[in-house]
Amino acid sequence: MTEPVNIISEENNGILYLTINREDKMNALSFSTLEELKLVFEQLMDNKSIKAVILTGAGEKAFVAGADITEIASLNEVNARKFAEFGQEIFAMIENCHKPVLAVTNGYTLGGGCELAMACHMRIATANAKFGQPEVNLGIIPGYGGTQRLTLLVGRGKANELMMTGDMIGAEEAKSLGLVNHVFPTKEEAIACAEAIVEKIRSKAPLAIGMIVDCVNAVFSQENGYQTEANSFARCVKSGDYKEGTSAFLEKRKPIFRGE
């Protein structure tokens, strides 16, 4: 693995600050970005000096605007399932991390970005944050655990609405749904809030914090649902609508779906 280029990683006072750093692409999650994220979380467990992680996106416009559509526009059923399972594996590592992982979501938090934020233990949003699962516009579905985590966080009805319409919601609505813990006007204030929460957690017993992570995740354990999601995601990419949806995005036009 070469030096990370898509993630800026800085350690300060026991906190690892991770910034997804593809600002010109709205911090879209390319495959190599996911690989870098995986490496960071693999190394994190053995690093005794790091007590918590704060994850954000570079710039003011986006946390992460989804998986990189240029990379997912030419999937087949086999590699689509692997694509979904790879993302699910990394997001599960984040969710299962025994050190608190807080997302500071600044701007667009869409698709894989919303899924990434939901895999973190808490979400603090800036007032301009927008949340959504717009995969349906591309002829696919969320594939990084979104169908499961969104349903568990906001409930079945609202999750269906968000995933079926692809609509975006603002930070305050996301907070009222339980998708977001706190909202602040600026990124600086959102990060300060995340740091204050980390400071409180650091005064508690680290083993107990790890056990809370395990027990909370046990409530939400949905192994079969994740497998269904990866299989369904793979089935979507066999369709003409998937070709049409991704091509339309890349050609900057509206898609015409034919249901085939």
Which residues contact residue 106 at a Cβ distance below 8 angstroms, ignoring those fewer than 6 apart?
A: 56, 57, 59, 60, 61, 62, 63, 125, 126, 128, 129, 187, 190
Say whether residue 135 binds ligand COA (CB under 6 A): yes
Closest approach, Cβ 65 to ligand COA, in A, equals: 4
Q: Which of 36, 85, 95, 135 is catalytic?
A: 135
Angle (CA) 125-126-128 rounded to 5° is 120
Please identify, using beta-carbon distances, which residue of 67 and 163 lies nearer to ligand COA.
67
Please identify, using beta-carbon distances, which residue of 97 and 129 lies nearer to ligand COA.
129
Closest approach, Cβ 143 to ligand COA, in A, equals: 8
Please identify, using beta-carbon distances, which residue of 44 and 90 lies nearer to ligand COA.
90
Are 41 and 16 within 8 A, CB to CB? no
Residue among 87, 95, 122, 115 at smallest CA distance from 218: 95
Stretch that binds ligand COA, among 1-9, 38-46, 68-76, 202-210 (CB under 6 A): 68-76
**Residue from the set 33, 37, 63, 68 that interacts with ligand COA by CB under 6 A:** 68
- Applying CB under 6 A, what is the total number of residues that bind ligand COA? 17
Say whether residue 26 binds ligand COA (CB under 6 A): yes
Rg of the Cα atoms in the chain = 17
Q: Rounded CA gap, 119 and 211, in Å?
A: 17
The question of whether 135 is a catalytic residue gets the answer yes
Please identify, using beta-carbon distances, which residue of 75 and 197 lies nearer to ligand COA.
75
Closest approach, Cβ 61 to ligand COA, in A, equals: 7
Q: What is the dihedral of CA 224, 225, 230, 231, to 10 degrees?
A: 70
Helices (H), the chain: 31-44, 69-72, 77-96, 112-119, 146-154, 156-165, 171-177, 187-202, 206-219, 223-236, 240-250
The question of whether 115 is a catalytic residue gets the answer yes
Say whether residue 115 binds ligand COA (CB under 6 A): no
Are 65 and 114 within 8 A, CB to CB? no
Say whether residue 58 binds ligand COA (CB under 6 A): no
Say whether residue 110 binds ligand COA (CB under 6 A): yes
Say whether residue 67 binds ligand COA (CB under 6 A): yes
Can you give the binding site for ligand COA, defined by CB under 6 A? 25-26, 28, 65-70, 108, 110-112, 134-135, 137-138
Which active-site residues does the annotation give? 115, 135
